[in-house]
A = this chain, B = another copy of it.
Amino acid sequence: MLGELLKPEIQEMIRAGNLKALHQVLVEWEPPEIASLIEDLPSKDDVVILRLLPHDLATTTFEYLSPDKQQELIEALIQQKDYLADLLNALSPDDRTALLEELPGHLSQRLLNMLSTEEREVALRLLGYPEDSVGRLMTTDYVAVHPGWTVQQALDHIRRVGNDKETLNVIYVVDDKRHLVDDLRIRSLLLADPAATLADLMDERFISLRARDDQETAIQVFRDYDRVALPVTDTAGILLGIVTIDDVMDVAEEEATEDIQKIGGVEALDDPYIDTPLFTLVQKRAKWLVVLFLGEMFYTTAMGHFEDEIARAVVLTLFIPLIISSGGNSGSQAATLIIRALSIGEITLRDWWRVMRREVFSGLALGAILGLIGILRVVVGEAVFATYGPHWLPLAMVVGISLMGVVICGTLAGSMLPFIMKRLGADPATSSAPFVATLADVTGLVIYFTAAALLLSGTLL
């Protein structure tokens, strides 16, 4: 973006005290561009830029900044109480909620005290909704109209109050008790006869969210109905606020990132990768690595029981990695597919039986393919290099059967664990690929040595 490219020139202008020219440059930029510039600037310079901006532009730009930068700026501005109070009172309620929930408690308390009585009441109400609920994404800056108004009255009303509203793309019809009775896209007003009443345009069909709904529900509804804003009501149907698509898109992206990180066996990061402090990064990764490591230790112990067999037939060890990794890989694949399908609502809990049948078949097919290649490997190895001695045929059978077994087990474990997690109320993504892989490892080993004990006793063993 522009900001990154011009950063040296901008810093040069700050050094030279050339603030008037800088002001002229910046008012031509889009808020996201100024935000990306501020993001990259060292402290002090960032405050200079923010304070140079006209009030409205400063507010919008501030809303585009990362939580870390917002906190930094607020700490730098804490003594300039009037400026900060103006800024805070002008922020959209939804962006302000996001800010207040990120800040340390003593700081958000101070900021709350800077708000006007009215804005403070809104802020406290929004903060009262559970984390990750629709209420936390909500803004109270919407346009409400009444069914008895004419289209012209509604348009006049919009002209009067619209300036501070988050969106004018949809307006909301409420009755005298603020019950939501319809939502009207601005297009229906623009296309209607100005003398018509709103009641003529209404179909009284609307989709609304509940303030305590999970944010994932909101993503789903926005996607299903292709809306740019949705109303939020309480259980009695009273209109509380609206949620706009830009906030929902951000949440959808974060959710996908969390899923991906969990599938990859990392505890979900709160910040972007590059902004996460190294210590946190190591901590979030170490947690799962250690859990998986301890899991593998059981495996080492299990293997200890087969030490005699291994000593008698070292050739068996050569196939261990092939077998356990096949179980792990097929398990990861299944887990990944199912976690994602659950997370975007393609399948739900009640589909478990349908998925199970598909996965039994997939497991059989994949197991047969890998089993055959494994057998081929032993046969060719013996034919060309005479590697495996006189008992190559039973060895080939053991390898083939074990591969088949481990792939089926891995596939089933990988596909069913996410359902079990979800049923237990946990996040399906917790049954991450490495977790399934470790589970498959242990199973694979047991299958392999059991098959070996059965088929090779009297020959190799």
- The digit string for A248-259, where 1 denotes a CB below 8 A from any CB of B, is 011011001101
| A252 surroundings in chain B (CB, below 8 A) | 249, 252-253
Given A169-B186, A191-B159, CB of A292 within 8 Å of CB of B337: no
| A441 surroundings in chain B (CB, below 8 A) | 321, 325
Tell me if A304 is interfacial: C-beta within 8 Å of chain B: yes
| A20 surroundings in chain B (CB, below 8 A) | none
Within 344-389 of A, Cβ neighbours of B (below 8 Å) are at: 344, 346-347, 351, 354-355, 358, 361-362, 365-366, 369-370, 373-374, 377, 387
Q: Which of B223, B228, B273, B336 contacts A265 (CB 8 A)?
A: B336
Q: Are A366 and B285 in contact (CB under 8 A)?
A: yes
Q: Are A300 and B322 in contact (CB under 8 A)?
A: yes
Within 238-273 of A, Cβ neighbours of B (below 8 Å) are at: 245-246, 249-250, 252-253, 256-257, 259-261, 263-266, 269, 272-273
CB closest chain-B residue, reference A315: B307
Q: Are A318 and B300 in contact (CB under 8 A)?
A: yes
Q: Are B205 and A187 in contact (CB under 8 A)?
A: no
Q: Are A223 and B250 in contact (CB under 8 A)?
A: yes
Tell me if A281 is interfacial: C-beta within 8 Å of chain B: yes
Within 219-248 of A, Cβ neighbours of B (below 8 Å) are at: 222-226, 228, 245-246
Q: Are A278 and B361 in contact (CB under 8 A)?
A: yes
Within 277-299 of A, Cβ neighbours of B (below 8 Å) are at: 278, 281-282, 285-286, 288-290, 292-294, 296-297, 299
Tell me if A79 is interfacial: C-beta within 8 Å of chain B: no
Chain A interfacial residues counted at CB < 8 A: 113
**Minimum CB–CB distance for A428 against chain B, Å:** 12
Within 286-335 of A, Cβ neighbours of B (below 8 Å) are at: 286, 288-290, 292-294, 296-297, 299-300, 303-304, 307, 310-311, 314-315, 317-322, 324-326, 328-330, 332-333, 335
Q: Are A437 and B325 in contact (CB under 8 A)?
A: yes
Tell me if A30 is interfacial: C-beta within 8 Å of chain B: yes
Looking at chain A's contact residues, the main secondary structure is helix
- The digit string for A175-192, where 1 denotes a CB below 8 A from any CB of B, is 000000000011100110
CB closest chain-B residue, reference A29: B205
Q: Are B321 and A299 in contact (CB under 8 A)?
A: yes
Complex-state Cα separation, A153 to B162, whole angstroms: 21
Complex-state Cα separation, A6 to B183, whole angstroms: 25
Pull 15 A–B residue pairs with CB atoms less than 8 Å apart, ordered by A. Answer: A28-B205, A30-B205, A168-B186, A186-B186, A261-B340, A266-B333, A266-B336, A273-B347, A278-B361, A289-B326, A289-B407, A290-B373, A296-B322, A317-B320, A321-B441
Chain A positions within 8 Å of B, measured between CB atoms, are 1, 28, 30, 32, 36, 155, 158-159, 162-163, 165, 167-169, 185-187, 190-191, 205, 207, 222-226, 228, 245-246, 249-250, 252-253, 256-257, 259-261, 263-266, 269, 272-274, 278, 281-282, 285-286, 288-290, 292-294, 296-297, 299-300, 303-304, 307, 310-311, 314-315, 317-322, 324-326, 328-330, 332-333, 335-341, 344, 346-347, 351, 354-355, 358, 361-362, 365-366, 369-370, 373-374, 377, 387, 407, 433-434, 437-438, 441, 445
